[in-house]
Amino acid sequence: MTATEDVVHKGLLELMHHELPDAQDIRIEDLRRISEGLSRENWIFEGEWNQGGDAVRLPLILRRDPEGSLLETDRRTEFDVLKPLESSSLPTPRVLWLDEDGKFVGRPSMVMVREDGECDWFVLNGSRSSDVRLGLARGLVGLLGQIHLVDWRSLGLDSVLTDPGPMASVAEVERWEGVLRGTQLEPHPEMELAISWLKARAPKSQRTVLVHGDYKPGNALLQGNDISAMLDWELAHLGDPLEDLGWITNPYRSREHQIPELWQRKQIIEHYVAETGFQVTESELTWWNVFSCYKLATIILTGISVFVEGNFDVIYQAPMSLYRVMFELMDVAEQAD
Amino acid sequence: MRPGMTDQLSGIRRILDEIIAPELREGYPSQVLRGIVKNLAMLEGAWVHILPFLEWDTTGTAALLEDAGPHVDDDLGQRITDAVKQELPSSSLEDLERRNSELRGLLAEAIHQLAPQTDAAALQQRIKEHLVERTRRYPFRMAIAAPTSAKA
């Protein structure tokens, strides 16, 4: 067992004893860090204990903040978003315990029930038949619609998340500008151009919905050809529904979200509108596409920063092809004016 | 100078890929190593282009800043004047990188001041064109081992 594994193992046991005061014979089996996950450390294990005479054995996953990450997010908020969503019809992971300040496992963490399944970033262009892939694509957009239709007020999410009101667009630009300012290692005129452009043209939102914030096939848990859960809610917030739609129709991410000739921007929008009844204005969606490039670029620049600090093990480069797509989208929007 | 820079980068990559990688079991370290090997392969071809790229970008950025001078406030205008009159450093890559970053910082500031000025539209377009061309000439390329499929 490595030193880190030892810290996590001992910390997890302490956390479980704290959360399960009446349990006996608490054990952790097969603990190991898996390679997946760029923003959090993911540790899988089997949790075992006796509760009131019954033996319990659960496949669990610990999501622990790394030393450095692409995303600086708050485990408390993610936990408090996921907990009430368990009572909704959305397929979300079941969260069990929170180590908010890392008192037990060294860094902020939460433990969730681990469901069987597969996450595949490029499933829509993978080896499954085109009919199956098209069904998955429709299912993903349908599920996005369900997320946006969730009654977040009745679930109490307004006590966890802030409603930014009709100028959710500006709130998001400023939120990511704050991230950029906190992490950038050098000037990026490309990003200043984007910030200036986005602020000058920010649209009003039609309504406030629960936004996933990183909606993609890579965050969907698949069991066979069915989507069994949507994972990774660390960027969830209240905002404009077009934010998620702009994220999945971003041309830069088409290999993840689209199927050539079968499932492209037009089909995604049509299906989303049919599922939600919401209006989608092309110019507003293009604005959110530009925003998606800007947000993703900020995430990548954060990755560069934490790599240079020595706290991240993936080497990103300045996002040149992403900038190019972003500038092209700006041109598209300006020509449509 | 043999082994030269390309020889050494190539050799390190080969050793990691052929000697070290097969000894690692599948997991986080092997995924990290795959990314490192891809990045080394990218650097082998890219490093020779760094110097000409920085010279081109620094010269082009200075020209844009000179044209931006009359459109920005006095403080920024003076800093631009002071910066662009300096000659292109030729002593070291580090000096050139520092100069490039300084000019890009001034350009970043100028962009916000130019944005609302309709009479600066042509200059704003030229700035954007330069930044687009910069993305094409940038020597480094993203070389990460993208996740494909994983058991959750």
**pLDDT one-digit tens code per residue, A165-199:** 999 999 999 999 999 999 999 999 999 999 999 99
User: Model pTM greater than 0.90?
Assistant: yes
pLDDT of B149 > 50? The answer is no
Residue A28 pLDDT level (bands cut at 50, 70, 90): very high
- CB pair distance less than 8 Å for B144 and A316: yes
Residue found under tokens 């630009």 = A173
Q: For residue B150, which phi and psi values (nearest 5 degrees)?
A: -150, 145
β-sheet with A95-99: strand ranges across: A24-34, A41-51, A54-64, A109-113, A95-99
pLDDT value of position B150: 45
Instruction: Write out chain A residues lying below 8 Å of B136, CB-based.
Output: 320, 324
Residue B147 pLDDT level (bands cut at 50, 70, 90): low
| Residue B24: HSE in the Cβ half-sphere, 13 Å Cα cutoff | 15
Total length of chain B: 152
pLDDT of B148 > 90? The answer is no
Nearest by CB to A318, which of B39, B138, B151? B138
Residue A330 amino acid letter = M
User: Minimal Cα–Cα distance from B114 to chain A, Å?
Assistant: 10
Rg (C-alpha) for chain A, rounded Å, is 21
pLDDT value of position A206: 94
pLDDT value of position B117: 86
Instruction: Check if the beta carbon of residue A180 is closer than 8 Å to that of residue A191.
Output: yes
Query: CA A160 to CA A166: how far, in whole Å?
Result: 19
Instruction: Cite the beta strand spans of chain A per DSSP E.
Output: 24-34, 41-51, 54-64, 95-99, 109-113, 118-120, 209-211, 220-223, 226-230, 237-239
A102 Ramachandran zone, left/alpha/beta (phi>0; psi -120 to 50) = left
Nearest by CB to A36, which of B39, B116, B150? B150
User: Minimal Cα–Cα distance from A190 to chain B, Å?
Assistant: 7
Asked if A200 is an interface residue toward chain B (Cβ–Cβ < 8 A), one would say yes
Question: What value does the mean pLDDT of chain A take?
Answer: 94
Test the B interface: residue of A315, A326, A335 with most B CBs within 10 Å: A315
pLDDT value of position A245: 98
The highest-confidence range among A38-42, A313-317, B28-32, by mean pLDDT, is: A313-317
Looking at the DSSP bridge assignments, the partners of residue A45 are: A60
Residue B37 amino acid letter = V
Evaluate the omega torsion of the peptide bond into residue A319 and state whether it is cis, within 30 degrees of 0.
no
B25-79: pLDDT as tens digits: 887 888 889 999 999 999 999 999 999 999 999 999 999 999 999 999 999 999 9
Give me the percent of chain B exceeding a pLDDT of 70. Answer: 95
- Contacts for B52 with CB less than 8 Å, ≥ 6 apart: none
Alpha helices in A233-319 (DSSP H): 241-248, 254-257, 265-276, 282-308
Question: Burial, A169: exposed, middle or buried (Cβ in 10 Å; 0-12, 13-18, 19+)?
Answer: buried
Pick from B126, B134, B76, B130: nearest CA to B105: B76
Contacts of B66-74 spanning 24+ positions with Cβ under 8 A: B67/B123, B67/B126, B68/B107, B68/B110, B68/B114, B68/B120, B68/B123, B68/B127, B71/B110, B71/B113, B71/B114, B71/B117, B71/B119, B71/B120, B71/B123, B72/B109, B72/B110, B72/B113, B72/B114, B73/B113
Q: For residue A280, which phi and psi values (nearest 5 degrees)?
A: -125, 115
Pick from A71, A68, A69, A99: nearest CA to A236: A71
Query: CA A109 to CA A98: how far, in whole Å?
Result: 6
pLDDT of A257 > 90? The answer is yes
Residue B90 pLDDT level (bands cut at 50, 70, 90): confident
* pLDDT, average across residues B4-8: 92
* pLDDT, average across residues A57-85: 89
Asked if B144 is an interface residue toward chain A (Cβ–Cβ < 8 A), one would say yes
* pLDDT, average across residues A219-239: 94
- Contacts for A30 with CB less than 8 Å, ≥ 6 apart: A44, A45, A46
Query: CA A14 to CA A102: how far, in whole Å?
Result: 12
pLDDT of A93 > 50? The answer is yes
pLDDT of B151 > 60? The answer is no
Residue A48 pLDDT level (bands cut at 50, 70, 90): very high
pLDDT value of position A14: 96
Nearest CA in chain B to A44: B152
Nearest by CB to B152, which of A115, A189, A314? A115
Nearest by CB to A324, which of B135, B143, B151? B135
Residue A73 pLDDT level (bands cut at 50, 70, 90): confident
Which run of H or of E encompasses A324?
helix A320-336
* Buried b or exposed e, range A1-11, using 16+ CB within 10 angstroms: eeeeeeebbeb
Of A267 and B91, more confident = A267
